[in-house]
Chains A and B, each alone.
Chain A
């Protein structure tokens, strides 16, 4: 080994203790991430599906969410509420994807809904009729303004309180309530209008 190589090796030495620390820290982060996946993957999938209404897209969104978490795993210790934090990430991802996929038709495929939605003890005709009904309702939901639609969709998740919805959307709780009130009134008008047309 020449002198310069020896100097370089001494300069860029790899401290054994720091390597061990890093390995240990990485193992802890991986464990924490695996725990997050097992605990919140289903919830995130349902949030993603409520916006995208496509199983494969929803799964992709969940995967992207955890990839982002993996990229910013250094900040995991600073997160106060992991669940709300993850829902906020997946919410932003699915909204972004929805915005990009403007070419996709807004109306849901009735057959896809009939396949995905749980329908125990129903006949095939009843399942189809229910899917058509849900499809009409979702079409009306899509006509709402974005802010009101988002609050209405998040309010359907039982595990989210109004405070947590406000945290996910980055608004105050009072604005969540006012938006939800407006969304309900608007939905009533839309449903009455669609009922009168039939």
Chain B
């Protein structure tokens, strides 16, 4: 076998493991002739393979290789980005400048009240609730309440207490003999 000038691994350079034993075997394997009719069989298998045919096609105006579709897509992207930015900008008021500090408004303490003791902000006090005038329950009114109670109804706990207090207030009845 003639060594090829293209291949640097010629048998002459192989001396580490004997007189090209491995090299000779591998070269023998590498020169195995192809079986007869290999090309025909491959051609036949390629011809039998179903090829994906493209029956329908895009209209000429809508083909992707036309530039206007790309331009329209770019315009749509720009529109979305600019519209979103404008939507955010129109909602956020540029009231504050960078570097400024927000200081609460100092509420002046009332002249007659306590001082604010240097507080940054004092809460506004509200007018407290006004207590209503005490209701005077007269004897006649309590009698009317008793009359409204049904005869078979048991007195509640509070009614019992009220009755016990009333009995203690009255003079003791003479014991029955």
* Interface check A153, CB cutoff 8 A: yes
Count residues of B near A (Cβ-Cβ below 8 Å).
39
Name the A residues within 8 Å of B54 (CB-CB): 22
User: In the complex, what residues of B have CB within 8 A of residue A59's CB?
Assistant: 35, 38, 41
Judged by a CB distance under 8 angstroms, whether B70 is at the interface is no
Chain B residues with CB under 8 Å of A45's CB are 32, 34-35, 38
The answer to whether the Cβ of B17 comes within 8 Å of any Cβ in the partner chain is: yes
A67 touches B49 (CB 8 A): yes
Inter-chain contact B49/A191, CB cutoff 8 Å:
no
In the complex, which residues of chain B have a beta carbon less than 8 angstroms from the beta carbon of A192? 17
Whether the pair A191, B46 counts as a contact (CB closer than 8 A) is no
Assess whether A159 is in contact with B6, with CB atoms less than 8 Å apart.
yes
Interface membership of chain A positions 174-198, coded 1 if the CB is closer than 8 angstroms to chain B and 0 otherwise = 0000001000110110011000000
Chain B interface, >50% SS class: loop
For window 13-44 of B, CB contacts with A under 8 Å fall at: 14, 16-18, 21-23, 25-35, 38-39, 41-43
Which residues of A (1-46) have their CB < 8 Å from a CB of B?
10-15, 18-19, 22, 26, 33-34, 37-38, 41-42, 45-46
- Flag if A118 contacts B38 (CB, 8 Å): no
Chain A interface, >50% SS class: helix
Look across to chain B and name the residue whose beta carbon is closest to the beta carbon of A56.
B35
B87 at the interface (CB under 8 A from A): no
